[in-house]
């Protein structure tokens, strides 16, 4: 009997990471779960808060990857964001299940191991914990949708088409904007409820050339459609388009604006201001379903969540450097035929990632004081090998150098130092290639 009691005592102290149940964990339980996971898997996870909600709850992000604490050159950054509308709770549950799935299968499951070795995955299970705590278990009402200040967080970002920049930013939105400024995310999705469909940019329009036949069409529309279909066709029902009564979406996808225009949304901000392609996933007809429905919702979404993450390896990646092997920050990387509202640029490590479907593309790289570089590239389907094709660009100085613009970026932070080491090696490889 004593042994049994001791066993029960020990079992009750096992980290909750060992047995994540299909139920709604409140904010305190979720925080404990994330801490337990981080303790159980310290080498492949890193837990940090990107800010606080209006009521002071931490916005916890768990990072998963072979090197979870820092960016590594060539390793793309991916993110999932859940529970932006506090009463749309399935995403929050599924992201915790996803964390459980990924951590428990690393080094035993080939797909998971390849995924975490080749990308860095950031998961924010709840962007609106205050809303979650105030919501009621109801399918369609809006109690808990907004943050504590009564603001819809998916209308509170600086709009990319309108000048609403004087609007006051909520703490949760500011935390996301700061996050986007500290990590160079490549691909993202934010999880909602109340429908079953994958929605993609643009959500808004200023009635310019982007407005085509009722849709607001982004320059990377082909990539967005591929991303949305990747989710819908890997989902049990989404691709059928009629999962919820009263609505139909061809292939289970929609252009955001065509569905309904909205201003100040998160996905347009990600795409235009942070060069991160993000889609909005509506993953349950009922916003707050019975707990008994959660296992089936996980099974329906699991293959889609995994397949979508792999798409972070679409297209082309690389660094831009000068002939001395210095990384060049803010070099403009343009792909012919894609007139992005904000051109894609190299980040603080001199790196770029450009999600593209397989095909042939003409790249032009420009930076003040250097000759424009144009190259045509053949792009394979990167997800197959868990890597986008690598293309580094070597810029030559122009003969007449304006003194103020020719200085390449030298940085003292550790990421840049590490990247510089990689660059030196890359430069050697390029020099050899140029010789041969």
Note the residues at the interface with Zn ion (CB under 5 A).
85, 88, 192
Backbone angles phi, psi at 324, to 5 degrees: -90, 5
Please tell me the distance from the alpha carbon of residue 110 to that of residue 175, in angstroms, as a whole number. 34
Q: Determine the Cα–Cα distance for residues 432 and 123; give it in Å rounded to an integer.
A: 40
SS3 24: coil
Residue 154 Cβ vs Zn ion, minimum distance, rounded to whole Å: 6
**Which residues, 6+ apart, have CB-to-CB distance to 388 below 8 Å?**
76, 313, 314, 315, 316, 317, 353, 355, 382
At closest approach, how far in Å is the CB of 192 from Zn ion? 3
Nearer Cβ to Zn ion (152/183)? 152
Q: 397: which 2 tokens?
A: 């100085």
Tokens matching residue 287 = 């916003």
**Cα–Cα distances in Å, from 244 out to 94, 99, 198, 383?**
19, 27, 13, 31
Report in angstroms how near the CB of residue 278 gets to Zn ion at its nearest.
14
CB of 121 to Zn ion, least distance (A): 22
Q: Is residue 160 within 8 Å of 273, Cβ to Cβ?
A: yes
Contact 301, 283 (CB under 8 A): yes
Nearer to Zn ion, 65 or 193 (CB): 193
DSSP assignment of 343-362 equals -EE--TTSEEEE---SEEEE
- Sign of the Cα torsion 112, 113, 114, 117 reads positive
Tokens of 4: 């049994």
User: CB 195 → Zn ion: shortest distance, Å?
Assistant: 9
CA–CA distance from 278 to each of 112, 228, 389 (Å)?
22, 10, 21
Can you read off the two tokens belonging to residue 16? Answer: 């909750």
| Phi, then psi, of 332 in degrees rounded to 5 | -90, 130
Query: What is the spatial distance between Cα 368 and Cα 333, in angstroms, rounded to a whole number?
Result: 13
Q: Number of helices and strands (H, E) in the chain?
A: 11, 18
When the beta carbons of 88 and 130 are compared against Zn ion, the nearer one is: 88
Residue among 192 and 317 whose Cβ is closer to Zn ion: 192
- The catalytic position among 170, 183, 278, 282 is 282
Q: Which is nearer to Zn ion, 88 or 220 (CB)?
A: 88
Question: For this structure, is 282 an active site residue?
Answer: yes
Q: How far is the CB of 269 from Zn ion (least distance, A)?
A: 15
Q: Report the nearest approach of Zn ion to the CB of residue 153 (Å).
A: 9
**Rounded to a whole number, what is the largest CA-CA distance in the chain?**
87
- Are 53 and 98 in contact by the 8 Å Cβ rule? The answer is no
Nearer to Zn ion, 45 or 83 (CB): 83
Give 115's DSSP letter: H
**Residue appearing with tokens 């990747």:** 230
229: enclosing H helix or E strand: helix 221-234
CB of 222 to Zn ion, least distance (A): 26
Half-sphere exposure at residue 240, Cβ-oriented, CA atoms within 13 angstroms: 8
- State the catalytic residues: 282
């Amino acid at each position: 009997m004593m042994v049994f009691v001791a066993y029960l005592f020990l079992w009750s102290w096992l980290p909750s990471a060992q047995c994540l149940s299909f139920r709604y964990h409140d904010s305190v339980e979720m925080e404990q779960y994330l801490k337990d996971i981080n303790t159980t898997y310290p080498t492949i996870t890193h837990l940090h808060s990107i800010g606080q909600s209006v009521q002071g709850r931490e916005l916890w992000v768990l990072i998963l990857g072979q090197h979870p604490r820092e960016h590594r050159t060539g390793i793309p950054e991916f993110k999932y964001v859940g529970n932006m509308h506090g009463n749309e709770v399935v995403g929050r549950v599924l992201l915790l299940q996803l964390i459980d799935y990924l951590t428990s299968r690393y080094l035993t499951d080939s797909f998971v191991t390849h995924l975490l070795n080749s990308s860095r995955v950031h998961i924010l299970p709840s962007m609106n914990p205050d809303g979650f705590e105030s919501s009621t278990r109801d399918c369609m009402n809006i109690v808990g949708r907004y943050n504590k200040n009564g603001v819809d967080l998916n209308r509170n970002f600086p709009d990319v088409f309108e000048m609403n920049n004087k609007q006051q930013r909520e703490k949760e939105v500011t935390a996301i904007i700061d996050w986007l400024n500290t990590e160079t995310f490549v691909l993202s999705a934010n999880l909602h409820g109340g429908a079953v469909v994958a929605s993609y940019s643009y959500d808004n329009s200023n009635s310019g050339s982007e407005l085509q036949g009722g849709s607001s069409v982004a320059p990377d529309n082909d990539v967005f459609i591929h991303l949305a279909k990747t989710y819908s066709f890997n989902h049990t029902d989404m691709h059928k388009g009629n999962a919820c009564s009263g609505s139909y979406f061809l292939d289970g996808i929609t252009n955001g604006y065509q569905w309904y225009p909205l201003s100040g949304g998160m996905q347009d901000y990600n795409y235009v201001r942070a060069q991160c392609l993000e889609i909005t996933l509506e993953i349950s007809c009922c916003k707050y379903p019975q707990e008994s429905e959660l296992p089936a919702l996980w099974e329906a979404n699991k293959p889609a969540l995994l397949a979508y993450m792999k798409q972070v390896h679409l297209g082309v990646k690389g660094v831009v450097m000068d002939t001395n092997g210095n990384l060049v920050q803010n070099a403009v990387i343009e792909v012919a035929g894609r007139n992005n509202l904000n051109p894609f640029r190299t980040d603080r490590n001199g790196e770029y990632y450009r999600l593209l479907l397989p095909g042939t593309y003409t790249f032009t790289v420009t930076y003040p004081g250097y000759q424009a570089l144009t190259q045509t590239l053949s792009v394979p389907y990167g997800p197959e090998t868990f890597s986008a094709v690598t293309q580094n660009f070597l810029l030559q100085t122009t003969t007449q150098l304006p003194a103020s613009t020719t200085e390449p970026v030298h940085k003292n932070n550790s990421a840049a130092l590490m990247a510089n080491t990689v660059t030196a090696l890359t430069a050697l490889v390029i020099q050899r290639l140029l010789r041969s």
